[in-house]
Amino acid sequence: MSVYVVGHKSPDTDSVTAAIAYAELMKAKGEDYIPCMQGKANPETITVLDRFGVAMPENMTDAAGKQVALVDHSDLAQAPDNLSDGEVVAIVDHHKIGDVTTNNPIFFCAMPVGCTGTVLKVLYDLEGIAIQPQIAGIMLAAILSDTVNFKSPTCTDADKKAVAELKSIAGVDDTDSLFMDMLKAKSAVEGVPPMDLLDRDYKDFDMKGKKVGVGQLELATLDQVASMRDDLYKAMEEKKAGGRHSVLLMLTDVVKEGTDLMVVSDDPAMIEGAFNAKLDGNSMWIDGMMSRKKQTVPNLQKAFGC
Ligand code: MG
Ligand code: MG
Ligand code: MG
């Protein structure tokens, strides 16, 4: 029986490339693993797969009757639909442990590092399996993406070490220029419908029984979205109307290293309190905020009493 390897909903580069790299690792061990993704690849991921000549994985959003391996998440809200009618056989991740449970012992490997690509590099090394150059290239790109070119507080020495080793396998000399090419692709917003922008890198979280959505757009400058703010706000209101307590959108300025946080909430004062900042209109600038996982979500969890 094939095992479908899949990252989270609203797939980012790591969740697509990790599915490919983990499937390759298992195939090298003689197992039948198929890389998949939940929904459309984002522009950054398309650029990365093109650049290294790697095929786009197939779509898979329903786990009923399937064996699946989850990468880059272990939260039910981010997993394929009907997971309880399928069987999770492995999880490889770098986030907090989520709420996926299993009936049988499984392979579970999570490390507090900046990217699933880094965890996979460790697994390849443990197994003594050589990484194909094009796979090394996409793993490297994922680490640059998730760690925002090493600037994110989620970045660890293990991520830097993995990049140093992967770049020589992949034959990439200049990781900064690779990162800038990825940033250009990922921050292209012109002509993109507002809801698509909100969904581009979006996750729902359960906060003490309340549904809270957090999206993030990484930008070279906030000017890129200046003319779209009203439309983005409308998209956030629409998303919130689907049974959410709050919807936040992180407009992250990768160069200035901070985030303008747009907020739609039943309780805006609570969100202000979570970040010790004051809303100016419908957003607030938070200096140094780069990471949803390490900064935004933990502060929200504290405020919600999780
Ligand atoms: Mg991810
Ligand atoms: Mg990741
Ligand atoms: Mg990310």
The CATH number for 194-303, chosen from 3.30.1300.10, 3.30.40.230, 3.10.310.20, 3.30.70.20, is 3.10.310.20
Element holding 185 (H helix, E strand): helix 175-186
Amino acid at 201: D
Whole-number Å distance between alpha carbons of 25 and 99:
26
Measured in angstroms, how far is the CA atom of residue 218 from the centroid of ligand 2? 15
The mean predicted confidence, pLDDT, of the chain is: 96
Domain range list for the chain? 3-184, 194-303
Measured in angstroms, how far is the CA atom of residue 95 from the centroid of ligand 1? 9
Whole-number Å distance between alpha carbons of 236 and 241:
9
Q: List, for the chain, all residue ranges whose pLDDT scores fall below the cut of 50.
A: none
What is the number of the ligand closest to the CA of 114?
2
Tens digit of each residue's pLDDT (9 = 90 or more) over 142-169? 999 999 999 999 999 999 999 999 999 9
Measured in angstroms, how far is the CA atom of residue 39 from the centroid of ligand 1? 14
Measured in angstroms, how far is the CA atom of residue 10 from the centroid of ligand 2? 12
Measured in angstroms, how far is the CA atom of residue 14 from the centroid of ligand 2? 5
pLDDT for the residue 4? 98
The CATH number for 3-184, chosen from 3.40.190.10, 3.30.420.40, 3.90.1640.10, 3.30.70.100, is 3.90.1640.10
Q: For residues 37 and 8, is the Cβ–Cβ distance under 8 A? A: no
Whole-number Å distance between alpha carbons of 86 and 222:
42
Q: Which residues of 261-278 are buried (b: 16+ CB within 10 A; e: fewer)?
A: bbbbbeeeeebbebbebe
Whole-number Å distance between alpha carbons of 12 and 201:
7
Tens digit of each residue's pLDDT (9 = 90 or more) over 81-113? 999 999 999 999 999 999 999 999 999 999 999
- Residues recorded for the chain: 306
Q: How many CA atoms within 13 Å lie on the side-chain side of 6?
A: 30
pLDDT for the residue 57? 98
